[in-house]
Amino acid sequence: MTPSPTHTAPFWNWWRSLAAAALLAALHISLAYLPDAPFTPPMNLVLYFTNLYVLYCAAVVLPGRSATTLAMFLAGYAGLFALVLLALGKKPLFILLIVAYSSLFGSPVLIGFFVIFVVCFILLQPYGFESFVPLALIYALLWNVRRRASWFARVCLGGGLVALTAVLFPLIHLATRDSVQTLWHTFQREDVQDAVGQSLLSSTSATLVVALFGVPLAYALARIDFPGKRWVESLVDVPILVPQSVAGVAFMVLLGPGSPLGQGLAPLGIRVSGTTLGIVLAQVFVAFPFLVKTAMTAFEGIPRSLERASRSLGASPAVTFFRVALPLASRGILVGLTLAWARAISEFGCIVLFASSPVTAPILVHTEFLRAGATESRPIATLLLIICLWIFVMLQFGQTLLPFAMQKTRRETGA
Amino acid sequence: MTAIEHVSCRFGDFALDDISLAVGQREYWVLLGPSGSGKSLLLETIAGFHTPDKGRVLVEGRDVTSVAPERRGIGIVFQHAALFPHHTVLANVEYGLRVRGAPRKERERTAEEMIERMGLQGVLSRPVSALSGGEAQRVAIARTLAVKPSLLLLDEPLSMVDHGARLELQAQLKSIVAELGIRTLHVTHSREEAAALGDHFAIILSGRIVQKGTTDELKSRPRCAFVARFLGLENTEAAPPCEEACLRRPGSCKKLD
């Protein structure tokens, strides 16, 4: 009688388990009689019981699994053994890790986190914490999409996110350096508060200015075809292309104290260089492409027939803009404004040349760095990072609260 | 008089060549032609989204050729309903009256009437994005008729509607247009739709009108074999062979053989 393929003899049974335990005992006893014993007898005993627990877990988890799983289990054990016991020689740590390893092996999710934990906190020290958090999040994400995406897409996603983490790692590392107390003390310094306030004020004003002229420009570029339109679109990109120091010099030449325009404005009580006005000007210059590009895409996404329907129903072009185009593009415009605001508050190169007073936060970080070095300027940098991220994340979140998005309804309303 | 007179227009790959058409009181014209014949361009020109190079557009005797679309008194319904996704169904129907500054009482009364006529009571609370093709098109028709245009343009209004709903919508459209006595110009490439709705046909090919007249005229005396075939007549042999005028544009006539 041939055994049916669905009912094979169990991989583990009680006498095999006993034999394995006895074999393990023999191994540990022989270890104790080696010329220079690697473990003290109590440690050897503890290790023996640990290995017994590993055997027990294997007996629970492995039956019915493929040979690959068994090989992976043994490879994991060997890896931990080689890394923690042979290379580092940390016996208690090995015991703790191996117990966790054999307990978690049955669950693919948890064993993944365990591997990341070991890699981050043992191999990547002293960057354990800041590497563990993003990598664990990436793993959780990949686990989450495992049924929705092909293996290739998941490899692309995982590889891309790990690379992104590596690129952003300086910031992640910076954010974990200082204690909350240090940050709080730094935040209460008057010069820091002034600089942060100045930054928020000028970048918000710059964003409003950008909105006032960027949204109409974006609408026009999205709706009117004219010869040379591509060149105008490229002109919009110029501030992204030009080095900020070049822009700073250009502003200085046009509006600086010695320039004709600067001297002409001085009697009117208007000073541009070295004032909030100058900062706002520089920020508008660097920020507006981000709004114009995003808003243009948003306006282009609105089917022309919607605006035509509005016109034929009796709405003038202006009414159509405010009742149809603007509401439907509002999410895209808000994304653009967020980007523009972020670009404005992060501007340094142009401002440092053209309007370095009143001091904005990036300028303060720079002067602190020149005065006292990286360690001294670190809390201010961290603080600025946290404030920018906080507002950025809040604005991103705000966009999701808008009641509609054109993308979702384009299918039904037509091209 | 509501008419277009000698309209010529060029837009991208499409061109209209000396098109004249007069839509009389209570007439339902169907503009029938294959894809790419310039039907939609003609409607857009009449509605005011393109300025014709030559010719004029008259609405009830008023020359509106250079009048902005919102002041022409022409309603247009698009192939994709083009409903405003950020408004409710009710707000869509009320839109025209709202932007014209109609008082609330009148707005509500008209919207209610249109909703009832188009049988939209059931979908009022639904978001626009959740409407089916037929429902969306009914809302679009109600929205357009709510402002009482003196000429109704329909740009392939039934092509995105699935078959069952299409017959129902066709009947609804026919009855409401007849009831309101509104002049209608309906563009389509489907002769079943044309036969079911129109009392006047204009056959358009490559931006020019090949033949126009009442349904009976066209069916009894098709001008050429192309018209006869396009109308699906049985005895295409009886029709005169295609004329030089109809053949002049390269490829247009022969392609349909």
To the nearest whole angstrom, how far is the Cα of A221 from the nearest Cα of chain B? Answer: 18
Specify whether the CB–CB gap between B186 and B77 falls below 8 A.
no
Q: What local confidence, expressed as pLDDT, does residue A404 receive? A: 58
Residue B147 touches chain A, beta carbons under 8 Å: yes
For chain A, the distance separating the N- and C-terminal CA atoms, rounded to the nearest angstrom, is: 69
What are the residue ranges in chain A where pLDDT is below 50? 1-9, 406-415
Taking an 8 Å cut-off on Cβ atoms, the answer to whether A312 and B76 are in contact is yes
- Show the CA angle centred on residue B22, arms to residues B19 and B28, nearest 5°: 110
Query: Could you give the strand order of the β-sheet that contains B54-59, starting from the edge strand earlier in sequence?
Result: B14-23, B2-11, B54-59, B62-63
Residue with tokens 């492995």: A62
CA B75 to chain A, closest CA, distance in angstroms equals 6
Closest B-chain CA to A327: B86
Which DSSP helix (H) or strand (E) runs through A211?
Answer: helix A190-223
With a CB cutoff of 8 Å and minimum separation 6, the contacts of A405 are A331
Report the DSSP beta bridge partners of residue B54: B8
Examine the domain organization and report whether B119 and B172 are in the same domain: yes
Judge: A310–B95 Cβ closer than 8 Å, yes or no: yes
Residues B211-238: b if buried by 16+ CB within 10 A, e if exposed: bbeebeebbeebbbbbbbbbbebeebee
B106 and chain A in contact, CB less than 8 A: no
Contact B143 A309 (CB under 8 A): yes
CA–CA separation, A374 and A191 (whole Å): 18
B85:A328 CB<8 A: yes
Token pair recorded at residue A71 = 């090989």
Domain that holds residue B242: 221-257
The yes-or-no verdict on residue B225 having pLDDT over 80 is no
Q: Do B82 and A311 touch (CB under 8 A)?
A: no
Q: DSSP assignment, residue A314?
A: T
| Residue B208 pLDDT | 82
Answer yes or no: is pLDDT of B253 > 90. no
Same domain, B145 and B23: yes
- Does one domain contain both B33 and B98? yes
Is B162 part of the contact surface with chain A (CB cutoff 8 Å)? Answer: no
pLDDT at site A1: 39
Choose among A319, A406, A413: nearest Cβ to B82: A413
Quick check: B68 and A406 CB within 8 A?
Answer: no
Interface contact A313-B68, CB threshold 8 A: no
Tell whether B96 lies on the interface with A, counting CB pairs under 8 A.
yes
Q: Which residue of A has its CA nearest to B92?
A: A310
State how far the Cα of B12 lies from the Cα of B163, in Å rounded to an integer.
32
Which among A305, A319, A328 is the nearest to B80, CB-wise?
A305
Distance from CA of B254 to the nearest CA of A (A): 31
Cα–Cα distance, A308 to A315 (Å, whole number): 9
- Say yes or no: B34 and B153 in one domain: yes
> How many domains, chain B?
2
Instruction: Please tell me the predicted confidence (pLDDT) of residue B252.
Output: 46
Whether residue A158 lies within 8 A of chain B, CB to CB, comes out as: no
* Co-location of B234 and B125 in the same domain: no
Contact B70 A313 (CB under 8 A): yes
The whole-number pLDDT of residue A7 equals 45
- Chain A contact probe: residue of B86, B94, B123, B162 with most A CBs at under 10 A: B86
Given an 8 Å threshold on Cβ–Cβ distance, is B147 in contact with A314? yes
Of A312, A403, A413, the CB nearest to B69: A312
The Cα of B83 is separated from the nearest Cα of chain A by a number of Å equal to: 6
Question: CB–CB of B86 and A414 under 8 A?
Answer: no
Find chain B residues with C-beta within 8 A of A301's C-beta: none
Query: Encoding tokens for residue A153?
Result: 């897409």
Q: Does B69 reach chain A within 8 Å, measured CB to CB?
A: yes
How confident is the model at residue B121, as a pLDDT?
87
B27-56 per-position pLDDT tens digit:
999 998 887 788 888 899 999 998 888 899
Q: What pLDDT was estimated at residue A12?
A: 57
Q: Is A405 on the interface with B (CB under 8 A)?
A: no
Measured between CA atoms, the residue of chain B closest to residue A415 is B80
Verify whether the Cβ–Cβ distance B99 to A323 is below 8 Å. Answer: yes
Whether B35 and B123 map to the same domain: the answer is yes
A271 secondary structure, DSSP code? -
Q: How far is A315 from chain B (nearest CA, A)?
A: 6
pTM: 0.80
Is cis: bond before A126, omega within 30 of 0?
yes
- What residues of chain B lie within 8 A of the CB of A310, using their CB? 84, 95, 99
| Interface contacts A/B by beta carbons within 8 Å | 96
Clarify whether residues B227 and B198 are in a common domain.
Answer: no
Higher pLDDT residue, B13 or B89? B89
Q: Are residues B252 and B183 in the same domain?
A: no
> Are B210 and B233 found together in one domain?
no
**pLDDT exceeds cutoff 50 at B254:** no
Instruction: Tally the residues of chain A.
Output: 415
Q: Are residues B202 and B226 in the same domain?
A: no
The ipTM is 0.89
Q: What is the CATH number of the domain that holds B89?
A: 3.40.50.300
The CA distance from A367 to A377, in Å, is 9
Angle at A175 between CA A169 and CA A176, to 5 degrees: 95
What domains appear along chain A, each with residue ranges and CATH number?
14-175 (no CATH), 183-413 (1.10.3720.10)
Whole-angstrom distance, CA of residue A162 vs CA of residue A66: 30
> Which residues, in sequence order, are bridge partners of residue B211?
B203
Dump pLDDT digits (tens) for B88-145.
Answer: 899 999 999 999 988 999 999 999 999 998 888 888 888 888 888 889 999 999 999 9
Token pair in block for residue A81: 């053994």
SS (H, E, C) chain B: CEEEEEEEEEECCEEEEEEEEEECCCCEEEEECCCCCCHHHHHHHHHCCCCCCEEEEEECCEECCCCCHHHCCEEEECCCCCCCCCCEHHHHHHHHHHHCCCCHHHHHHHHHHHHHHCCCHHHCCCEHHHCCHHHHHHHHHHHHHCCCCCEEEEECCCCCCCHHHHHHHHHHHHHHHHHHCCEEEEEECCHHHHHHHCCEEEEEECCEEEEEEEHHHHHHCCCCHHHHHHHCCCCHHHCCCCCHHHHCCCCCCHHHC
Q: Does the structure show a pLDDT above 90 at B246?
A: no
pLDDT digits (tens, 9 = 90+) for A196-211: 999 999 999 999 999 9
Is there a single domain that holds both residue B120 and residue B188? yes
Distance from CA of A254 to the nearest CA of B (A): 44
Dist. CA A195–CA A366, nearest whole Å: 12
pLDDT band at B250; cut points 50, 70, 90: very low
pLDDT score recorded for residue A161: 96
Contact by Cβ (8 Å): B239, B227: yes
* B100 touching chain A per CB within 8 A: yes
Residue A25 has, within 13 A of its CA and on its CB side, a CA count of 6
Task: Say if CB A223 and CB A311 are below 8 A apart.
Answer: no
Structure tokens that stand for A41 in this block: 């007898």
Residue of B81, B96, B129 with shortest CB distance to A314 = B96
B85–A312 CB contact, under 8 Å: no
What is the C-alpha separation between B215 and A90, in angstroms, rounded?
96
Indicate whether B208 and B232 sit together in one domain: no
> A328, B86: Cβ pair inside 8 Å?
yes
Decide if pLDDT at B209 tops 60.
yes
Task: Note whether A357 and A274 are within 8 A (CB).
Answer: yes
Q: Which token pair is A358?
A: 């009143």
Using the beta-carbon criterion (under 8 Å), do A406 and B84 form an inter-chain contact? Answer: no
Residues 35-64 of B with CB under 8 A from A: 44, 47-49
